[in-house]
Amino acid sequence: MELRAERAGSLSEGTPINYRDIQVGRIVEVKLADDKQDVRVEIFINAPYDQLVRDNTRFWQTSGIDLSMTTQGFNLKVGSLLSLLSGGITFETPNLGDLNAKPSADDTVFTLHKDFASIAEGSYQFKKPYMLLFDDSVRGLSAGAPVEIKGIRIGTVTEVRFFF
């Protein structure tokens, strides 16, 4: 199987692939894709765990420590000892109990997300940039912050610049 990512990060040959914190496979090769736009990560999932990979499976990079700060405070997640040392890739398959779904073919290409949170963001089909000017302080506003209307996320801040 193949994963495509924007960056390789700490991924290398032999990096573990986990399912529910159990190592079920490893990375075979990491190299630049032919189009030079992505990183190509070839993976191997051991049997019988290869049957867990379906067309709707989602892969993301994991590191030993994930520290984030939001308006709700700090969030700290600590992985297994192995992931602390080498990082890795984790995957999950929604609706795994669907008996009609078949395992993915060996030549299936999946997106490798930078973390689990980026999966939840989804991918936007329609993108339209806007520039907003503020007279007041924008302290705390940074790239990646959500843009919301009445609590519903409609976009993401891509850049914060200063004009005088």
- Give the type of residue at 102: K
What's the pLDDT band for 82 if we cut at 50, 70, 90?
low
- Whether 126 is in a domain gets the answer no
- Whether 55 is in a domain gets the answer yes
- Whether 33 is in a domain gets the answer yes
Q: How far apart are CA 29 and CA 45, in angstroms?
A: 13
Q: How far apart are CA 17 and CA 24, in angstroms?
A: 6
On whether the CB atoms of residues 74 and 114 are closer than 8 A, the answer is no
- Whether 149 is in a domain gets the answer no
Among residues of the chain, what percentage have pLDDT more than 70?
80
In this predicted structure, the answer to whether residue 5 has a pLDDT above a threshold of 70 is: yes
Give the residues across from 22 on adjacent strands. Answer: 19
- Whether 26 is in a domain gets the answer yes
Q: Model confidence over 41-79: pLDDT tens digits?
A: 999 999 999 999 999 899 998 876 666 666 667 776 665
What's the pLDDT band for 23 if we cut at 50, 70, 90?
very high
- Whether 156 is in a domain gets the answer no
β 73-78/88-92 pair status: unpaired
Q: How far apart are CA 154 and CA 150, in angstroms?
A: 10
User: Which structural domain range is residue 52 located in?
Assistant: 2-121
Tokens linked to 67? 């520290």
**Number of domains forming the structure of the chain:** 1
Question: What is the pLDDT, as a whole number, of residue 124?
Answer: 57
